[in-house]
Amino acid sequence: MPAVEEVRNGIHAIALAMPAMQPTYAYSYAILAGGSSRDVHIVDAGLDTDANWETFCAAIEALDRHVTDIVSVTVTHLHFDHTGLANRIREASGARVRMHGDEAAAIRAGLQFSAGHDVGDKFSEWGVPAAERAALLEIANSRADFGSSVVVDDELRDGQILDFGEHRARVIHTPGHTTGHICLALLGENAVFTGDHVLPGINPGIALGGRRSPDPLGEYYASLERLEPYADAEALPGHGFRFSPLGARCAEIRAHHEARTAQAAQQLAETPNLPVWELASRLTWTGGWDALPVVSRVSALAQTDMHAARVATVSAAE
Handedness of CA 297, 299, 302, 305 (dihedral sign): negative
Which residues, at least 6 apart from 29, have a Cβ–Cβ distance to it below 8 Å? 7, 11, 12, 13, 14, 42, 43, 44, 193, 236
Residue 18 pLDDT greater than 50, yes or no:
yes
Q: Residues 180-206: pLDDT tens digits?
A: 999 999 999 999 999 999 999 888 988
Q: Residues 53-107: pLDDT tens digits?
A: 999 999 999 999 999 999 999 999 999 899 999 999 999 999 999 999 999 998 8
- DSSP single-letter state for residue 202: S
pLDDT of residue 141: 66
pLDDT of residue 116: 41
Average pLDDT over every residue of 5-19: 96
Average pLDDT over every residue of 45-60: 96
Q: Residues 113-148: pLDDT tens digits?
A: 654 445 667 888 899 999 988 888 877 666 554 555
d(CA 27, CA 13): 6
pTM above 0.85?
yes
∠ at Cα 135 (131, 139), nearest 5°?
150
* 125-129, 212-216, 221-225: range with lowest mean pLDDT: 212-216
